[in-house]
Amino acid sequence: MKVRIHISLKPGVLDPQGRAVHHALEGLGFSGVDDVRVGRTVELDVADSTNDEALGEMCEKLLANTVIENYRIEKVA
């Protein structure tokens, strides 16, 4: 089973990287971009028997830092 973990900074947490990318987009002439937040995607290939609880635990213990990040688990196939 393929699983995608989408990790993003929590609202309110400053994202210096996103700000730099935003600035670069403006430099390329793209107007109308209000905000940029940079996250991370982790793709897992796991046994079909892997339950949601185990996936949640992987995120909580390692893949995301829940002090600053939110995560969303997407089962791809």
Partner 1 sequence: MKTAVVTFPGSNCDRDMQVALRDVTGRDPHKVWHGDADLPDGLDFIALPGGFSYGDYLRSGAMAANSPIMRSVIAAAERGVPVLGVCNGFQVLTEARLLPGALMRNAGQNFICRTVSLKVENTQSLFTGGYASDEEIHVPVAHHDGNFFADEDTLDRLEGDGRVAFRYTEKVNGSRRDIAGILNPAGNVLGMMPHPERAIESDHGGSDGRRLFESALGVLAPA
Gap between the Cα atoms of 66 and 50, Å rounded: 22
Name which position in 1, 2, 4, 20 contacts partner 1 (CB under 8 A): 20
Integer angstrom CA distances of residue 60 from 23, 43, 44, 74: 32, 16, 15, 15
Q: Could you say whether residue 16 binds partner 1 (CB under 8 A)?
A: yes
- Given 13, 24, 54, 76, the residue binding partner 1 (CB under 8 A): 13
Q: Based on the shown chain and the rule CB under 8 A, indicate whether residue 27 belongs to the binding site for partner 1.
A: no
Contact between 73 and 2 under an 8 Å Cβ cutoff? The reply is no
Which residues contact partner 1 by CB under 8 A?
Answer: 13-14, 16-17, 19-20, 61-63, 65, 67-68
